Amino acid sequence: RYQATPTFGWDVIRKFTNDASGMKNMTAHGYQDLLLCCLPAIEGILPKYDHTIQDVTFCAANWLLLAKLHSHTSATITLLCKCTSVYGSLTHKFTHDTNSVPTVKTPNEADAHQRREAKVAATGTTSGTGVANTCSAILAASTIGTGPQKSQEAGGPHSKKFSLQTYKWHAMGHVADAIEEIGSTESYSTSRVCQFLQGDSYFYY
């Protein structure tokens, strides 16, 4: 369905790859295109939950476009706050309603999972810092009882449930306040650096 979606404008909606669901080598623009064209692409896939899925997807696209406005007024900030609240409610409803649907990791995620397990088995230690491992343990403990998370037999698919126990969901509630304090999210980028020339040396921060 994504492949059948026509392009739009010079670079608004670009041609989708052969395997959009694989999400391999995706750019930020690609993820945005997936969301903006998601409604017709996923319509009717899960008939029982189609209304809930369409609502939460539409609200997600609406929230994204509000958050990415190049300029804001008090009215748009108010709309963003209301949209964030509605999106949170719809997301919780979506999580509750679709929890019984069996879902598995994508092939890329499954391959990465197997590589991590093989590395741990070979070294006997987990990768990452102590802080990262501690956070992972806390998140794992907080999701107990939210649904089956057990790994399948070797070589089989690994089950993966939608979880709200991640930082990105918490951070969404602070976007409106951040825009009021430091400006539109389109006015800065983590890829930009400030450059100062001092003699023959360049300094970045």
Placement of tokens 């539109």 in the chain: 184
**How far is Cα 54 from Cα 52, in angstroms, rounded to an integer?**
6
Task: Tell which wins on pLDDT, 29 or 95.
Answer: 95
3-state secondary structure of 91: helix
Phi, psi (5° rounding) for residue 149? Answer: -125, 10
Task: Give the residue among 9, 18, 53, 16 at the shortest CA–CA distance from 33.
Answer: 16
pLDDT digits (tens, 9 = 90+) for 72-124: 999 999 999 999 999 999 999 998 988 888 887 777 777 777 888 888 888 86
The confidence band for 152, taking pLDDT boundaries of 50, 70 and 90, is: very low
Q: Which DSSP state fits 186?
A: G
Placement of tokens 């491992």 in the chain: 133
3-state secondary structure of 2: coil
pLDDT digits (tens, 9 = 90+) for 56-81: 989 998 998 899 898 999 999 999 99
**How far is Cα 126 from Cα 108, in angstroms, rounded to an integer?**
20
The H or E element that residue 19 is part of is none
User: Which residues make beta-bridge pairs with 104?
Assistant: 159
- pLDDT given at position 156: 60
**Is the pLDDT score of 170 beyond 80?**
yes
Placement of tokens 């999701």 in the chain: 143
- pLDDT given at position 155: 54
**How far is Cα 107 from Cα 84, in angstroms, rounded to an integer?**
32
- pLDDT given at position 192: 54
Q: Residue ranges per domain, the chain?
A: 113-161
